[in-house]
Amino acid sequence: LLALNTWAHRSLLLDKAVVTLLGEPLLGGSFFCLFFWWLWFANADSFESLVANRISVIRAVAGLYLALFAARALQTFSPPRIRPVNDPALRLVEPFGGKVDWDPDWSSFPSDHAVIFFALATAIWIHNRWLGAVAYAWVLVFALLPRVYVGFHYPLDIAAGAIIGVVIMELACGAPLARWMQASIEWT
């Protein structure tokens, strides 16, 4: 955290870019929305592959909600952890562009952004390894490193969120599908 923060307030261009990334959810999540949109409507070779694609999307959405629920439960029921930006003992350097507003009452552990984005990247990884690798890189560069840079999260918050997102998405995508769910998907 402190090593990354040494770059803050040195370059107006870098600081503005990082603060812009934090305020642009389209940059962080657009890659995932496009992938799942494509997967849902992709012209499949057969009816079975079309159903399999849609089941993959539904599993990803279910896994995302389960992972987010687990993260919020941990944040709510664990002892609160102050965000680095709100800890005066760290003496973090504020980036150019002004202080980014954040609710100081929310615990920083685990990072719910890391949970969400790593869960989605894992769903893509399960479907396509190459695109999954791109998704993981996208997550690190555009969604998570900026949060550490400005002091929203400690690296451990990101790592814990990543583990939660990956594990829960793996479980959700590997769980057997109920027979009635399979039938309702095939019907649509």
Buried-state track 37-70, b at ≥16 Cβ within 10 A, e below 16: eebeeeeeeeeeebeebbbbbbbbebbbebbbeb
Question: Looking at residue 50, what is its pLDDT?
Answer: 73
Question: Looking at residue 69, what is its pLDDT?
Answer: 92
Question: Looking at residue 128, what is its pLDDT?
Answer: 82
Instruction: Give the predicted TM-score (pTM) of the model.
Output: 0.79
| pLDDT, mean of each 10-residue run, the chain (188 residues) | 64 62 66 79 72 81 90 86 75 64 69 88 88 87 79 86 93 75 59
Question: Looking at residue 188, what is its pLDDT?
Answer: 54
Question: Looking at residue 38, what is its pLDDT?
Answer: 80
